Amino acid sequence: MNCFLHATTDPARDVGANVVKLPTAKPMPLSIVMISAECAPIAKAGGLGDFVQGLSHDLIARGETLEVLLPYYDTLPLDRIAGLRVVHPDLRVPFHDHWLTCRVLAGTVDGIDCGFIDPQSEQRFFQRGRIYGETDDPERFAVFACAVLEFILQSGRQPDILHCHDWQTGLIPVLLRERYRARGFPDSRVCYTLHNVGYQGVVDVSILRQVGLDPARLMLPERLLHAGDGRMANLMRGGIVDADVVNTVSPRYAWEIQNTEQGMGLESLLKTHASKFGGVLNGIDESVWDPEIDPLIPAHFGPDRLPRKAANRQALRVRLGLQETEKPILAVVSRLDHQKGVTLILHGIRYALAQGAQVALLGAALDPEIDGQFRRLQQETATNPDCRLELTYDERLAHLIYAGADLILIPSLYEPCGLAQMIAMKYGVVPIVRRVGGLADTVFDANYSTRPFAVRNGYVFDEPTPDGLESAMSRAIDLWRRFPEYFSQLRLNGMRADHSWTRSGQLYRDLYVHLGTCKKSS
């Protein structure tokens, strides 16, 4: 069954050329179950939560029937869930050598119907005060995967599409193929989206036994066997092999993880399954991120009202205690970890200050060593009127930083898609990025891009070195200082680009429909 596209992005180009190319199909209503560890605004640790929220909003607006299934974390803000109720008090789920009872609750979050899996176990799987980071994460999400399929089966539904995300749901395509397809899912098809192959769900083989799977059938190089260790299963491998279609979140990243070390051991597997693999660029949810209507910023503005951005810049300086001055504000809004290029971020902050810019950073690090580096810089700059580092995450402040900043620094070592650069451009912030993944698909250099000037929107560098970073930052700061009219044009180019979910949502819907066409013909 050849249902998808080939990821043929040429890395020498500004942007990946390939997108989903599918035959025209007559629109039909779809029943979609989105299965994820995250969904903003109630369960969010990173971009996955924004993705699920944004794509779900778009599909619902198209008239599809959609439900998101999540774990029932103790961190859920229950006041954000309308009509929360128990819909299945004693769902019995096979686990280890016994039956585990789960409650299933349901409610509506920001217009999205959501179901919540709540295992009733002394292990309190999802009552840990956080989404990820537990030593038994493999077991926690294995329980979730089993419970999701049991719930759908016992509810008697026949969804057209099960859309699974990242390693936490990688067992679902495997369980469907090995145990559940014959029990009641004859027509459901699985779309599996890889948001970050840096996290693959490499687990002890005992996890397979716990959910009733036979390691002798699955611990093979072409199935779940983790390369180089016969005792470890790779859940992301399982999802890739057994899903009907697999995609990642930008065309460029799709090429990178098949053809470079960024595949982190999955390169050959993805090439083997190239006929069902490709990239679809993420969008941003403009019901959340739009300076024309954003309730979290003091002054609304847009391409036709760009001067009003100045009021937000002033408010940002007041909020952070920065001096009022004729200097550009460089923003960093990021998770602070190795992937995001923390060494380059630290260097970039010092370089920006040396070049006469102001700096506003909002971000947090889980790694104690990285956290220590930023806390030392925070202390070093504590009395500097041009620099503030907020080492936390604050949604309201994030909106104000985007609304008030002039430049944003995103020097990622790898970046599957990235939303920060799209949000920043929507708010008239010029991005400075490294040419990787979705950053390369969305940011086109003001000086060196081959694209028309009306499409150029930022500054790009290639080598993850201080020299590479400084080359882009110096060009950006110099343009702001010496040629403000051209800098304003870069702002406007970014603001006028369409980074909404409209196009990407249509591509996902077309893909779902095409899976149904393949199903009927297979």
* 406 Cβ neighbours under 8 A, 6+ residues apart: 313, 328, 329, 330, 429, 430, 480, 487
- Distance (Å, rounded) from C-alpha 336 to C-alpha 342? 6
pLDDT at 3: 53
Residue with tokens 């028309």: 452
Amino acid letter, 103: R
- Taking the CA atoms of residue 202, residue 206, residue 209 and residue 210 in that order, the dihedral angle to the nearest 10 degrees is -90
User: Is residue 309 annotated as involved in ligand binding?
Assistant: no
For the chain, what percent of residues have pLDDT higher than 90?
87
Query: How many CB atoms are closer than 10 A to CB 82?
Result: 11
* Contacting residues for 425 by C-beta, under 8 A, at least 6 apart: 431, 442, 457, 458, 494, 495, 497, 499
Distance CA 344, CA 433 (A): 11
| DSSP secondary structure, 242-283, as one string | HSSEEEES-HHHHHHHHHSGGGTT-HHHHHHTGGGEEE----
Residue 78 is given by DSSP the state G
Identity of the residue numbered 267 = E
Let me know: does 337 contact 370? Beta carbons within 8 Å. Answer: yes
The span from the CA of 91 to the CA of 84, in Å, is 17
Q: How far is CA 61 from the centre of its chain?
A: 21
Neighbours of 321 (CB within 10 A): 8
Burial of 212 (0-12, 13-18, 19+ CB in 10 A): middle
433 and 494 in contact (C-beta within 8 Å)?
Answer: no
Secondary structure (3-state) at 509? helix
Residue 27, pLDDT score: 65
Spatial separation of the C-alpha atoms in residues 415 and 239, rounded to whole Å: 21
CATH of domain 31-283+502-521: 3.40.50.2000
Topology alike, domains 31-283+502-521 and 303-499: yes
Coil, strand, or helix at residue 408?
strand
Residue-range domain boundaries for the chain = 31-283+502-521, 303-499
Give yes or no for a cis peptide into 41 (omega within 30° of 0): yes
pLDDT at 227: 85
pLDDT at 37: 98
pLDDT digits (tens, 9 = 90+) for 184-196: 888 899 999 999 9
**Tens digits of residue pLDDT in 215-230:** 999 999 999 999 877 7
Residue showing tokens 């697999």: 246
The kind and range of the H/E element at 162 are strand 161-165
3-state secondary structure (DSSP) of residue 311: helix
In 3D space, the residue among 1, 8, 59 whose CA is nearest the CA of residue 278 turns out to be 8
> What is the residue whose two structure tokens read 């200082």?
481
If one counts every other C-beta atom within 10 angstroms of the C-beta of residue 99, the result is: 13
Using CB atoms within 10 A of its CB, is residue 491 exposed (0-12), middle (13-18) or buried (19+)? buried
H-state helical runs in 32-105: 47-61
Would you identify the CATH topology of the domain 303-499? Rossmann fold (3.40.50)
Taking 50 as the pLDDT cut, the residues of the chain under it are 1, 4-20, 23, 25, 521-522
Nearest to 477 by CA among 330, 332, 368: 330
3-state SS, one letter per residue, for 336-353: CCHHHCHHHHHHHHHHHH
- Where residue 351 falls (left for φ over 0; alpha for ψ -120 to 50; beta otherwise) is alpha
- Residue 177 pairs in a beta bridge with none
Q: Is the dihedral of CA 21, 26, 27, 33 positive or negative?
A: negative
Cβ atoms of 371 and 365 within 8 Å: the answer is yes
Which pLDDT value is given to residue 371?
97
**Nearest Cα to 237, choosing from 221, 259, 260, 256?**
221
Q: Are 294 and 310 in contact (CB under 8 A)?
A: no
pLDDT value of position 520: 52
